[in-house]
Every structure is written in C-alpha cells, then in structure tokens.
Amino acid sequence: MFKYILKSKFSFCFAVLFAVAASFGTVYFAFLLGNIIQVAVDGKLSALYAEGIKAAIIMTLTGALNFITSVLYNNYLTNSIRHVRSDFFNSIMNSRISFFIERNSNEYISMFLTDMSLVETNYFGSVFLILSNICLFLFGIASIFYLNWIIAITVLVTALVPMVVPGILSGLLRKVGKDYSSALEKFTVYVKDYLSGFEVIKGFNIVKKVSVNFLLQNKIITKKKRAKDNSTSAVQNISSTLGGLLFFVPLLLGAYLSLNGKFYIGGIITAVQLVNHILSPIQGIAKGFAELNTVRAVSAKILDVLKNNKPSDTDCVEKFDFTDSIKFTDVNFSFKTNENDLSGNSIERQVLKNLNLEINTGEKVLLVGKTGSGKSTVLKLLLKYFKNYSGSITIDGKNLCDIKAESLYSKFGMIHQNVFLFDDTIENNIRLGLNFQDTEIDKAIKHSGLSPLIEKNPDGKKFKVGENGGKLSGGEKQRLAIARCLLLNLPVLILDEITSSLDAETAQEIEKQILSLQDKTVIAVSHRLNKNLLAQYNKILVLQDGRVCECGTFDELIRLKKIFYSLYTLEAVERIQ
C-alpha cells in the first residue's frame, strides 16, 4: 500500500510540513502564555500589550497553516484511495475468469465500498497521523529541552509508559479488526442476495425465515463492530489515562524548581502547555498504530487481489488466425468440489477424460449430453477460463496457451444463458462503448432480429432496457447479445444453453437465426433437440463421462441408434408430455 502514498507524495509531504509549521506556531504560543503569566507576576503592563499582540498574530497564522494542512491532507487521502480503487478495478478486469469466479461478486462489492473506506481512513490516514505526530513529538521535545533539560528528561521517561501499552495490545486489535472485516463481508453478501431474490422470497412466502436470518446476521455484525470499537477505545483510553501523568510531572517538578529559585512561574505554564506537544503526538501515534493493526487484514485482502489478479498471458501472441480447425487432443480436466475427504483435503471431480474432438472453420457444431457430461466445460476451456488441464487445445495448430486472451476474444464471442445488460439504451448495450457507425449498429439490429423491438418502441434504439434488461423479454435479451457479436464481426460464436430459459417457439426462432448466419463458426451447447434445427448442424458431438462417444450429422446419429438416439427420443417424449 505504501506505493500509493508515493503516488500522492507532493500532497503528503507538504501536508506534513505545514502540520509541523502549524505546530511551531502553537509551541511558540505556549511560550507566549508563559511570558504573559510572568509579565502579570512581575507587574509589567507595557510588556503585556506586546505579548498580547504577538499572541494574536501567532493564532491567526497558526489557523491559516492548519487550514492549508487540512486541504493538502484531504488531497493526499482522496488521491491515494483513488489510485487503489483504479488499480483494484483494473486488476479485476484483467484477471483470469477462473480467478474472478472463485469469489462471490458481493465480496468484491464489499471490498470496493467497505474495505476501501477502512483503508482510506485507517491506513492512509494513520500513516499521515503517525509521521506528522512523530515530527510534532520531536519538535515538542526539542522545545521543552530548550525550556529546561531536567523537566524534559523527566517527561521523556514518563512518556515511555503510554507508548509501550498500545504495542502490547496490538495483537488483540489485529484480531478484532480481521473478525469485523470478515463479518462485514458476509453481511454484505447476505443483504445483496436477499435484495436480488426479493421476488423469490415473496413468491415462496419465506419472508419470516429471511427476516429471522437477517436479524441473526445483523446481530453478528453488530457484535463484531462493538468488539472492534470497544477494543480500540480501550487502548486509546488506557493511553490517554497514562498520558495524563505527563501533566502532573512538569507541574510538580516546575513548582519544586521554582520554590528553589531554579525556575520561573511563567515557565511552569509553558512546560504544562508543551506537554500537550508531547502527549498529543504520543496519543496520535498510538491511535495510528492501533488503526493500522485493525486494517492490516483488510489491506492484505485487497493486496491479494491486486497481486494475483494479473494477466498471465503477457508473453503470448497478440494475433492469430482461425482458418483451419480447433482441436482438443487427450484433454483431461478436474476441479475441486466443496466436499472434503477424511484427511480434510478437497475432493476433485474429473470432468473431461482424454477428450478428443475437432471443429473446422465455418462449421455449425452442437455439443449434447446429459448434465455433467462436460459440455459447458469444453466451451470454458476453449475460452481460457481455466488452464489447469492436461493434453492440448490448438487453433490452427497454435497452442491455446500461447494465444493472448484479448486476441482470442477478438475472434471468439460467447453468448451466455443469462445475458447481462447495462441500465442503458439498446444502442449502447450493443455498442458497449465502442466506436461504430450508426449504419453498422442498424445492420447488427436487422440481422439479429431486433428490428420488431425497435419499431414498436417510440424511442427506437434509444429505448432504455432497465436494470439488467428488466424491460426486455428473454428472447429480446438473447437477440441483443447476438447483435453484439455481429457488430464486432466475430467469426466464431459460442452458445452455452442460450435457449434453455425461453419458450419453445422463441428458442427455435433464435437458434434458426444464428444457424442462418453466413461465414460464422458456431459451437453450441443445448438440451433442446429440435429435428429441423438439428439437421442444420454440420456436426453433432455427443459427450458422456467426459469423452466424445459419438460424432456425426443428425441423420447419421439417428441411424446409429445409440446414445444420441436415446437422448433425442427422451427429449421428444418430454416435449409431448
């Protein structure tokens, strides 16, 4: 995190310098107070006016310096966290898909909103607090030495006590800070899930159950927050109480020295005032270290994302061509499940077993099979979701591992079952911020079958689709996703169960629309087995237990009367029922 301070080093350094300059003013004011008291004791009225004018000038200058310090401090704070947020967001966007999906999206939201706020105040704010107070402390010590070295040494020895105690209790603060951050993250996930699932909660009449669960989670987060705040307050109050000793030491010692003619009355007042410039920095330093300890776990979590969410294919080729074929050769792939064996290790499930397949450019290929046969996994491996597979995947003879993800996605476009749409216009959801001519947008709309939607809305392609496309039907969302791919002129379309949530008629229309596209390679996964559409595929690959067990056209597989024949007839029976 320190590198982000360096990115705002100008504001940071000048804020510290102005803080020290303001401290000079308050230290000088302490000497003026002592002088005013001494003048009163000596009965010198003329000198009183001079000291009063000096005090007024110093107070004005100190106020101005404090204001400038606040402005510079705020600039440093906001710029530092801005850089962290930017790097954090870019790091997520550049990360491998497999890394991203390891976390719940709500965890990222919690880190953006809650953890970033903690880092801003408890890390960046604390670093400034500690460094500026160290400077103030040294300045205060120098001033009290200038006043009287005996009092200065005594104050220094006494000051060690409130400095040591926070260090002893730092472990406790670190633990409660970590516990609170974890609880807050879980709480954010619960709240997001409940709000996202509002219709399900109401529809299945589980409001009471959800409310009980929320009250439990609310109680937990409140308890963790209370523990963190109480621990931090305890350390600060202990330090403050012990720091109070510093006021009595110069008062008593100054009075003793004064009674013995070795000090002056005004000096006692100055000494007590200067203790503020030793005690206040000590308390500030203690508070700063306490807050740094509470945010250490949070910072580590953010740094983990910043460190690991980096593109791992920087050495890969920028460009490649797809003019021949895609080949999977002896591909094996496993993933860890949520179950553990007797030793406590995660149980792995092998999804693909020595998988071999070939897809030629321009072909329309359909992958079918029972749930868990590995269909969607094939698509994800092709799109570099995961790299922990054995065997080889090549495109025109070039190993997939040697192709940069950005280059791959410039030719391969995936349309998901659940299409995500921004709360924006139809046009902007197709364009996705890229620079295209209106004629190109209109062409994509026409060939994706979106024209009826545009024509029936007065706003046309400027029609706002609502949050995640809430104003569109499932079929309209899929057509919009197709329009995106057509606008980008992607030669390969990958479809993962895109019609599973649509009615039969709409599903058939959309699949027919895609299969009619010229000069496109289509690789689809579907459980809908419509005879008219199946006949349009050049090749149907049947997967079972992670292997391709059958391959051929619709007519060839029907005549074979094996696994595909069983799947097709079973689906036909279910359709009739």
pLDDT digits (tens, 9 = 90+) for 360-416: 999 999 999 888 888 888 998 998 888 889 999 999 889 988 888 888 888 888 888
Residue 555 one-letter amino acid: D
**Separation of alpha carbons 285 and 281, rounded Å:** 6
In which band, very low, low, confident or very high, does the pLDDT at 114 lie, cut at 50, 70 and 90?
A: confident
Q: Is the pLDDT of residue 572 over 60?
A: no
More confident: 256 or 342: 256
**What H or E segment, with its residue span, contains residue 217?**
helix 207-243
> Tens digit of pLDDT for each residue in 321-336?
788 899 999 999 988 7
Which pLDDT does position 250 carry in this prediction? 76
Structure tokens at 117: 């706020």
Which pLDDT does position 331 carry in this prediction? 93
Average predicted confidence (pLDDT) for the chain: 82
- 562 contacts 550 by C-beta, under 8 angstroms: yes
Q: pTM of the entire structure?
A: 0.65
In which band, very low, low, confident or very high, does the pLDDT at 317 lie, cut at 50, 70 and 90?
A: low
What is the mean pLDDT of the segment spanning 204-223?
85
The residue to which tokens 């499940």 are assigned: 337
**What H or E segment, with its residue span, contains residue 23?**
helix 9-42
Domain assignments of the chain as residue spans, ordered by start: 1-148+280-310, 149-262, 420-489
Which pLDDT does position 356 carry in this prediction? 93
Nearest partner of 107 among 199, 181, 179, 178, judged by Cα: 181
Sign of the CA dihedral with 525 first, then 475, 487, and 424 last: negative
Tell me 265's DSSP state: H
Nearest partner of 245 among 159, 151, 148, 142, judged by Cα: 159
In which band, very low, low, confident or very high, does the pLDDT at 539 lie, cut at 50, 70 and 90?
A: very high
> Tens digit of pLDDT for each residue in 482-501?
888 888 888 898 988 877 76
More confident: 505 or 523: 523
Nearest partner of 351 among 375, 328, 383, judged by Cα: 375
Which pLDDT does position 392 carry in this prediction? 92
- 378 contacts 542 by C-beta, under 8 angstroms: no
First to last CA, the chain: 62
Which pLDDT does position 501 carry in this prediction? 67
Which residues touch 553 (CB under 8 Å, ≥6 apart)? 535, 537, 538, 539, 540
Structure tokens at 215: 């009250």
> Tens digit of pLDDT for each residue in 28-44?
887 887 778 877 777 77
Which residues touch 207 (CB under 8 Å, ≥6 apart)? 201
Residue 404 one-letter amino acid: K
Which pLDDT does position 327 carry in this prediction? 94
Domain 420-489, what architecture?
3-Layer(aba) Sandwich (3.40)
More confident: 381 or 576: 381
Which pLDDT does position 339 carry in this prediction? 66
**Separation of alpha carbons 453 and 490, rounded Å:** 23
**Separation of alpha carbons 512 and 128, rounded Å:** 63
Tell me 463's DSSP state: -
Topology match between the domains 1-148+280-310 and 420-489? no
> Tens digit of pLDDT for each residue in 70-82?
999 899 988 888 8
Q: Is the pLDDT of residue 173 over 80?
A: no
Q: Is the pLDDT of residue 313 over 60?
A: no
Which pLDDT does position 394 carry in this prediction? 92
Residue 432 one-letter amino acid: L
- 125 contacts 77 by C-beta, under 8 angstroms: yes
Q: Is the pLDDT of residue 271 over 60?
A: yes
Which pLDDT does position 67 carry in this prediction? 92
Which pLDDT does position 292 carry in this prediction? 84
Domain 1-148+280-310, what architecture?
Up-down Bundle (1.20)
CA 106 to chain CA centroid, Å, is 9
Max mean pLDDT among 263-267, 445-449, 532-536 falls in 532-536
Which pLDDT does position 543 carry in this prediction? 92
Which pLDDT does position 269 carry in this prediction? 80
Q: What is the gyration radius of the CA atoms in the chain, in angstroms?
A: 35
Structure tokens at 205: 């009449």
Nearest partner of 365 among 492, 461, 211, judged by Cα: 492
What is the mean pLDDT of the segment spanning 287-301?
82
